[in-house]
Amino acid sequence: MEFEEIQERIKKLIEKPAQAIPEETMNKIRKDMAKRCPKSKELFDEMKKNVPGGYEHQLIINDPFSITVKRSLGSRMWDVDDNEYLDFLSGAGAVFLGHNYPPLRKKLIGVLEDIDTACYFTNEYELKAIKQIKENMPSIDLFKFYQSGTEADMCAIRLARAYTKKKRIVKVGGGYHGWSDQLTYDMHVPFSGDMESNGIPRHCYRNTRAVPPNDLEALEELFKKEKKKGIAAVILEPLGPESGNIPVDPEYNKGVEELCRNYDSLLIFDEVVTGFRMGLGGAQKYFGVDPDLTTFGKILTHGHPSTGGVGGREDIMKLLASGIEVGEKVMATGTLLGNPLSAAACYWTLQFIKKE
């Protein structure tokens, strides 16, 4: 489907009035679920007494209650009531080789038999995994692991400010870049501003700006307007905001790249969703763009814990060099960065993607 056709369909959809699911239909669903999933309902009631809202992840369905999964394999899951499901969510897209992928599971069990996850020293899988990432994405000279996509994006904008000596960060309206104080702004819906910034002091995002998706003219106008304080970087999801649910023109990313070059700002590609899923070269290879920094999330380790990372140009990334050095450095670290299990999961995931 071409971009123009997608835009036309979205326009027609927006023009239609919002419709709620009829209460009669919802009552039938609630009754059916209560009958099929009594153990899940009981556990969910207990969860609500111990966890805010009764669930950890915002994508979980909580009306009438969330199912509790006890086993998963391939494209299927089984709940505590032994109901079988075909899983289209797949760990928010990270588990694209299938749940509990046997070859990967075998490799990771072997790692755990040899080394602890918190060894606090370099392990060989760090190097092997990073070499794989660099091989697939030539824009990356140096790479550093983090523990989530949120952490990766936090690090990227901090690097951009330190490198450029500029304050402003520009995001494409509606884009999701984790839940840090500075990026929980104009999130999910373009022009929403601080609607989802409850609990965050305004000064935390006063240097964050948002531009409408697909509007290169608006972006250039902002570059001109912010010339005094300067724009350190533009961060975007290359498919478009909200994991591509608000799609952008195929040439949009190239246009943003050109503007960043013209105004001496950095381009950050948030490839948490697109990295290695749009091909081993990610969205940057697909669109023919060379970002200055690239961020990753759960995709790196096929959904295994403590997963995220930042990669990019050597002259920028070297600001993250750790140790006792002082001066022009960026503080962004963590106890479990690049731990053996996560690094091995990353290396073997990329190996299996290449093989499959």
Active site residues: 176, 270, 298
Rg (CA), the chain: 22
**Is it true that the peptide bond before 305 is cis, omega within 30 degrees of 0?**
no
Rounded CA-CA distance 356/351 in Å is 9
Residues pairing with 310 in the sheet: 144, 295
Structure tokens at 68: 């509790």
Judge contact between 261 and 235, C-beta under 8 A.
no
124-136 and 340-355 are packed helices; what angle lies between their axes, rounded to 10 degrees?
Answer: 40
252-262 and 216-225 helices cross at what angle (nearest 10)? 20
Beta partners for 268? 235, 293
Structure tokens of 225? 């307007």
User: DSSP H helical segments within 16-101, as ranges?
Assistant: 23-36, 38-48
